Structure 1
Amino acid sequence: MNQPVIKLTTDNARQVHQESTSQHGFIYRAIVFGSSLSPKKRLALYTSILLLSLSLVWLPISLFLAFTSPKFTSEWTLIMPGAGSGHAVNLDSLGQATANIASPFTNTSIDPLVNYREIVTSHTVLSKAAAMLDISVKSFGKPRIKLIDQTSLMQFKIKGDTPEQARDKSLAIYQALQNQLEILRNDEVARITKSSLSSIEDFGSKLQQTQLEKLNFQSRNSIISVGQFEQLVTQMEYDVSTEQKLKARERFLQGQIQHLLTSVRLKPEEVSYAITLRNDSLFQAQLSRQAELKVQIDVTSATWGSSHPKLNQLQATLRSINLAIALRGKQLTKNQNLTTNELIELGSGKIKAILLEKLAQFMAEAAGVSKQLSQLQININGLKKRIENGAADAIKLEELSRKQQVATTVFSTALAKQDIGKVDRFASYPLIQILAAPTLPESPDKLHIKLALVGGIAATLFIICGLLTLWIRKRLLQKILLNESSGSH
């Protein structure tokens, strides 16, 4: 069975929704059904609202454009060099002092350009720049700063009432920035120097303490340096080597002496007797006289017989000569046990002079070598004793010397680093340079006019769109409500 179709007219819809209007109140009724004004009156009302809204928008904009003085913008660019620097000083026999100034862009977590931007916009820098131009900080204003990515450039823009004022503001900001950076660098150097001087004072005290400790130890001990102990060891090694060479020489000389003694058939002590007797002219004259008397005795005995008076006289003279030879020989040799015949044999020329002289030479050299060995042995024993007694002192002295060397190195390196650190003052606050000088603007800045016009036009469009929406809202809402009512029935 077909259901009857119910048709709702506009009046029916109004009647249906008026029932709900009583439930939602006056505001709902005013939004959906509007007022009961005629179309002409509604048009006049909306026109009045439009004109009033536009006047509220454009009157302030007109006043702003009329009474705002023109502004001139000066632009300039700063660049920050990115290269680092380094210094090194070699300290002879001590060490090396280095000071490396890294590039300001090596640390990815800290951007020096951002730091400089904050320094430029700080009250300190702006107040200094304003003071240079004898204006207030508020009148001076803040510059606009743009950091260009992947570069070390900073672009600045600042406005002024005149082109000259805008340029002067730029120059004042740059000068104030440089002054502030110089103050920060000086403060950093002063603080680092103060801290370094404190450390250097501590290092100097430690160095002085180690020096006094070493001097006190040296004054109490015979070993005053490690080099002295090393010299003792070296000297002992040299003496031991010399002793071995002298012993070898002594053995050689003794062999030669024994060989020559066998050849000349003399005892060692008789060699000196023979040489002494041979070198005495009186003893040799007596020997010559004795030889002549013996010849005369033999001739006289053979000619005149053994009973001749002259022979007796000659024999008496011979006896006196022999006695003189004995006395002279014992006086020279200082040996009373030698007989006259032994003295004559030693002092005569039967023994070859060359062998005797060579034997005497070897014996004299052997005696000298023996004395050298004796003295050398005394020296070696003394050195051994000094080395044994000074070994512990040398070790202690070497330890003290090492401590002093370390203290000296640390102290000298600290001094060198402090001096090197003053060479480059741009470690924490890098150098900046003007890449593009501040410009002198030729025409005023029109950006505020453009922004005001864009804002006014946007507000006008919003107002018109809003009023149009209010004008057609009743028809749209009723159509929507009508569709909803049809769907519900």
Structure 2
Amino acid sequence: MMTLTFPFARKKHPRKGGLARRVVMGGKLGDVRRLPRYVTAVILGATLIWAPLLGYLKTAPLSYRSTTSLIMPGSGASASMNVNGIGQATSYANSAFASNAVSPTETYKRLLGADRIIDAAASALNIKRAELGQPRVRLVDQTSLIHFETTGRTPEAAQARGEAILTAFFTELDALRADEVDTRQDSGLQAISDYRISVADTRTQIEALQNSTGLLSTDQYDVLLERHLALGQEIQAQQARLSERVAATTALEAQLGLNPALAAATLKLFANGAYIALLDEVARTEVGLTDALALYGARHPKVEAARSARNNSASMAMSHAQLITGLDAEALNNFDLAPDGARADLLAELVRMHVEVSGAKEQLATLESQRVESQKALDIFAPAAAKMKDLERDFSVAEALFASAIARAQSSKSDIYASYPLVQVLENPSLPAKPSSPNRKLAIMAGIAATLMLLISLAMGWIRIALISRLMTKPEVAA
């Protein structure tokens, strides 16, 4: 059967439902007529991926990144100063990590990004703040390390910006520490001024008390009290010695039968040569009288002459004894006429003991007089000493507080790390060897990954009819 074809015959177009099905389901795997459309999609997609990417790599300015590392020592520091005659001042700075309430690393992280740090660094580099930008600060967990990064168009610029921020950071730290020390010192100066006024007032009261009472210090009163007590003890000892000497003297007087005055007069008299000669004369005339009485009667002229000679000699001896001793005849009649030998020593001992008793009595009287005067002085100084003791204690306390305040004020100057702990540069700003942006390798890898994803998606579109058919086919249930 022959079929006629007319050139102007209209071609049959697929129905709308068939077109939608073809778009969703795709064509057969072996339908090469779809290939131009997929090639066009690959070229268009690759162009959309690589054109912006290559344009960015070609036109983007180079950026270099410099890194800096800081570290904070974890141990505290202490210092002790001992000033002779004033006291001891101790300064102690706690560890930066001793408190869980405040993190010094977080504080310094915020300080590194503070506006005044950025402004100071930008001014040092003679650039605008926007051009410098913010440093990227990063903390390392469980450590005291602080890392920050700065960027620049050249390696030297990036390093210089890191140095500028580091310098501004340490300058600001020094300023904060100095401000803290000044604030503490200002508050300490007021306390020092108050303590100085207290010391001066107490000193004035002490001087007024000294001028009004004559008591210079409590030590003076203590010395007077010690002397008074010592006088009491010495008086008791002296009374004991005096009683002993008086008893010994009395006993010796009883044994000799003479009082000390007569014993002294006896020794004095028998120490006189003229009196001894007169005694010899009395003895000679007494012998003559005895011889005359043996030969003659009591009224014989020779006996009378011998008696008269004896009486004259005795009278002369008595007169001479009265002249030497100053005693009357009755007292002289009790003289010991045999002071030689051991008895003379006893007489001398009696006289010596009498002198010692007299001296001991005078010494006792003097000590008692001194004790009376000492008691009067103590009675006068006792109230003043009590007040003086209170004033001296107040003065010592005020002086100790004043010295302590000065020591604290001086030691606080060395405690500059109390609120802002010590931080050290672990790594100086580095000089980057290669740019950090744009990252060509990362950009190319991203382009390759996007291209692969485009190819994978087109491949899945090519075989989508087989995939959809498999998904839509229900597995048969075994009988």
> What range describes the TM-score normalised by the shorter chain of this pair?
0.7 to 0.9
Q: Where in structure 2 are the equivalents of 1:75-90 lying within 5 Å?
A: 75-90=67-82
1:84-143 per-residue CA deviation (whole Å, 9 max, x = no partner) reads 122223455654322211112112111111121222212222222233333222222222
Q: Which residue of 2 aligns with 1:487?
A: none
Q: Which residue of 2 aligns with 1:146?
A: 138
Counterparts of 2:343 and 2:178 in 1: how far apart (Å)? 100
Q: CA deviation at 1:428?
A: 2.1
Q: Where in structure 2 are the equivalents of 1:269-418 lying within 5 Å?
A: 269-299=261-291, 302=294, 315-336=307-328, 338-343=330-335, 345=336, 348-349=339-340, 352-418=343-409
Aligned match for 2:105, one of 101, 105, 113: 113
* Gap change, CA 1:86 and 1:318, over 3 Å in 2: farther
Q: Where in structure 2 are the equivalents of 1:125-140 lying within 5 Å?
A: 125-140=117-132
Counterparts of 1:418 and 1:98 in 2: how far apart (Å)? 11
Q: Which residue of 1 aligns with 2:147?
A: 155
Which amino acid letter does the alignment assign opposite residue 283 of structure 1?
Y
Contact kept, 8 Å, 2:242 with 2:357, in 1: the verdict is: yes
Bigger CA drift: 126-135 or 433-442?
Answer: 126-135
* Gap change, CA 1:214 and 1:303, over 3 Å in 2: same
Question: What residue ranges of structure 2 are gaps of 5+ in the alignment?
Answer: 1-36, 465-479
* Gap change, CA 1:163 and 1:298, over 3 Å in 2: same
1:72 aligned to 2:64?
yes
Which amino acid letter does the alignment assign opposite residue 443 of structure 1?
K
* TM score, norm. by length of structure 2: 0.77
Percent identity over the alignment is 29
Q: Which residue of 2 aligns with 1:12?
A: none
Contact kept, 8 Å, 2:253 with 2:259, in 1: the verdict is: yes
Q: Which residue of 2 aligns with 1:430?
A: 421
Counterparts of 1:312 and 1:222 in 2: how far apart (Å)? 84
Counterparts of 1:320 and 1:351 in 2: how far apart (Å)? 31
Q: What is the CA RMSD across the aligned residues, in angstroms?
A: 4.3
Q: CA deviation at 1:300?
A: 5.3
Question: What residue ranges of structure 1 are gaps of 5+ in the alignment?
Answer: 1-43, 473-489
Contact kept, 8 Å, 1:58 with 1:456, in 2: the verdict is: yes
1:124 aligned to 2:116?
yes
Aligned match for 1:444, one of 435, 448, 456: 435
Q: CA deviation at 1:260?
A: 1.0
Q: Which residue of 2 aligns with 1:195?
A: 187
* Gap change, CA 1:289 and 1:435, over 3 Å in 2: farther
Aligned match for 1:258, one of 219, 241, 250: 250
1:147-199 per-residue CA deviation (whole Å, 9 max, x = no partner) reads 11221111121111111222222222222222221222222222222222222
* Gap change, CA 1:378 and 1:157, over 3 Å in 2: same
Contact kept, 8 Å, 1:326 with 1:339, in 2: the verdict is: no
Q: CA deviation at 1:296?
A: 4.1
Counterparts of 1:388 and 1:330 in 2: how far apart (Å)? 54
Q: CA deviation at 1:446?
A: 3.8
Q: CA deviation at 1:402?
A: 0.2
Aligned match for 2:160, one of 135, 154, 168: 168
Counterparts of 1:339 and 1:365 in 2: how far apart (Å)? 24
Contact kept, 8 Å, 1:236 with 1:383, in 2: the verdict is: yes
1:302-345 per-residue CA deviation (whole Å, 9 max, x = no partner) reads 467767777666655544443343333333433336454334x3
Number of residue pairs aligned between Structure 1 and Structure 2: 443
Counterparts of 1:98 and 1:351 in 2: how far apart (Å)? 83
Q: CA deviation at 1:216?
A: 0.7
Q: CA deviation at 1:408?
A: 0.7
Counterparts of 1:452 and 1:328 in 2: how far apart (Å)? 154
Aligned match for 1:242, one of 234, 247, 252: 234
Counterparts of 2:75 and 2:128 in 1: how far apart (Å)? 38
Contact kept, 8 Å, 1:277 with 1:346, in 2: the verdict is: no
Bigger CA drift: 97-106 or 86-95?
Answer: 86-95
SS at match of 1:352: helix
Contact kept, 8 Å, 1:72 with 1:163, in 2: the verdict is: yes
* Gap change, CA 1:377 and 1:338, over 3 Å in 2: same
Counterparts of 1:90 and 1:281 in 2: how far apart (Å)? 83
Contact kept, 8 Å, 1:274 with 1:347, in 2: the verdict is: no
Contact kept, 8 Å, 2:263 with 2:348, in 1: the verdict is: no
1:255-288 per-residue CA deviation (whole Å, 9 max, x = no partner) reads 2112211111112432332233233344334333
1:420 aligned to 2:418?
no
* Gap change, CA 1:270 and 1:85, over 3 Å in 2: same
